[in-house]
Chains A and B, each alone.
Chain A
Amino acid sequence: MDIKVLGTGCANCKTTIALIEQVAQAKGVAVTLSKVEELRDIMGYGVMSTPGVVINGKVVHAGGIPSRDKIEKWLAA
């Protein structure tokens, strides 16, 4: 599962990455997690509010730290 976190390096973006890592580890799901920090690339996904989360090329979240429940659903899909 390819997961990208979109954000220009704010604290919420870092927290989002850490949370996804935690949940993936707890569920034993293999993920490739990367950051997209360049504004042009972030805006290319049409995301105005960060952090944004892209899973396998699809934007699934924009704005604010996603809840653990939400992340668990993403990783279960």
Chain B
Amino acid sequence: MNARVELPPAREVCPTTARRMLAEGALMVDVRELGEVAQVAFDVPGVVLMPLSELQERFAELPRERQLVLVCQVGERSLKATYFLMVQGYTQVANMEGGLFKWARKGFPIKGAQPAARPTTGGCCGAPAPAAAVAASSCCGGGAAGAPEAAPAGACCSPATAERGCC
């Protein structure tokens, strides 16, 4: 089997940056399983569906010369997929942190049912709350009516994302 490869930290982008990258020609790769995609999907032209369970067999279908944005439900499986592609020599790969949940909270286009609030702990986004409450929170959602597109960096943002001011 493989010898160890020393990997740099994966590039992680927020949905806002991901959307900009897509507009500039990047390709979105959704690694969720097909059953999940059937319930709710990213409404993005050309999105490639490549479930994590098929990635090892199918990754060669992905172009190496194009920027790829890996996505999933919350950004954890896609991070794994991002590292996998890095091991395979892909250099233009980025993980969209927060996944579909964060994308939808931003009010970005999806097809299907609105995903339920992500069950997390801690912080203002973490307390179990109805989806409506989360959506109404300018801190967590960033997509609430009247809220600015880019909320100020605060406790809801990951440090890496906050540095880029794109929460």
Contact = CB atoms under 8 A, between A and B. Distances in A.
Interface in A17-69: 39-41, 43-46, 48, 54, 57-60, 62
Interface of A is mostly: mixed
A44 B84 contact: no
Interface of A: 39-41, 43-46, 48, 54, 57-60, 62
A57 B80 contact: no
A48 B4 contact: no
B155 interface: no
B7 A40 contact: yes
Nearest to A43: B83
Sorted nearest first, the 3 A-B pairs with minimum C-beta distance are A43-B83, A59-B1, A46-B2
Given A40-B83, A43-B83, A48-B84, A58 B1 contact: yes
Contact of B2 (A39, A40, A59): A59
B1 A44 contact: no
B120 to A, nearest CB: 17
Nearest to A46: B2
B80 A44 contact: no
Contacts of B4: 44-45, 54, 57
Contacts of B86: 43
Interface string B138-158: 000000000000000000000
Given A39-B79, A39-B83, A40-B83, A46 B1 contact: yes
Nearest to A4: B4
Contacts of A57: 3-4
B87 A43 contact: yes
A44 B5 contact: yes
Contacts of A54: 4
Nearest to A40: B7
A43 B3 CA distance: 11
A48 B1 contact: no
A40 B9 contact: yes
